[in-house]
């Protein structure tokens, strides 16, 4: 088992000045379970973050990983190194076709 990733469309026009990098969807078993959030002009440390969706009873919640990353590849590697552990958690997945 492994995570797969899909980049979201890059911002265009003036929005691309403040958000130069696209976010990345994190997929597990073809369902979106999280995001790798790209840094924007608002971030003090200009680091990448990981957010995952977890089941909370009948609903779900976003949880942000405490670690921050210098680039997208480091965030992807962090997830792949922990795929066995994370796959045991109660992740919430959504089919992107339903959006």
User: In the structure encoding, which two tokens stand for residue 67, read together?
Assistant: 């670690």
Give, in order, the Cα–Cα distances in Å from 67 to each of 11, 45, 46, 51, 63: 25, 12, 13, 11, 12
Domain chopping of the chain, boundaries: 4-93
User: In the structure encoding, which two tokens stand for residue 76, read together?
Assistant: 């992807």
Distance separating alpha carbons of residues 36 and 85, to the nearest angstrom: 18
Please indicate, yes or no, whether the overall pTM of this predicted structure exceeds 0.75: yes
Q: Would you say 51 and 37 are in contact if contact means Cβ atoms under 8 Å apart?
A: yes
Give the contacts of 69 (CB within 8 A, at least 6 positions apart): 47, 48, 49, 50, 75, 78
- Residue 21 pLDDT > 80: yes
- Residue 25 pLDDT > 90: yes
């Amino acid at each position: 088992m492994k995570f797969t990733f899909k980049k979201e469309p890059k911002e265009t026009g003036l929005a691309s000045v403040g958000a130069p990098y696209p976010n990345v969807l994190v997929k597990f078993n073809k369902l979106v379970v999280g995001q790798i959030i790209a840094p924007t002009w608002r971030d003090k440390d200009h680091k990448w973050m990981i957010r995952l969706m977890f089941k909370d009873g009948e609903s779900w919640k976003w949880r942000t990983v405490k670690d921050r990353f210098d680039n997208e590849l480091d965030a992807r590697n962090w997830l792949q190194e922990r795929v066995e552990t994370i796959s045991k958690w109660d992740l919430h997945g959504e089919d992107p076709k339903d959006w």
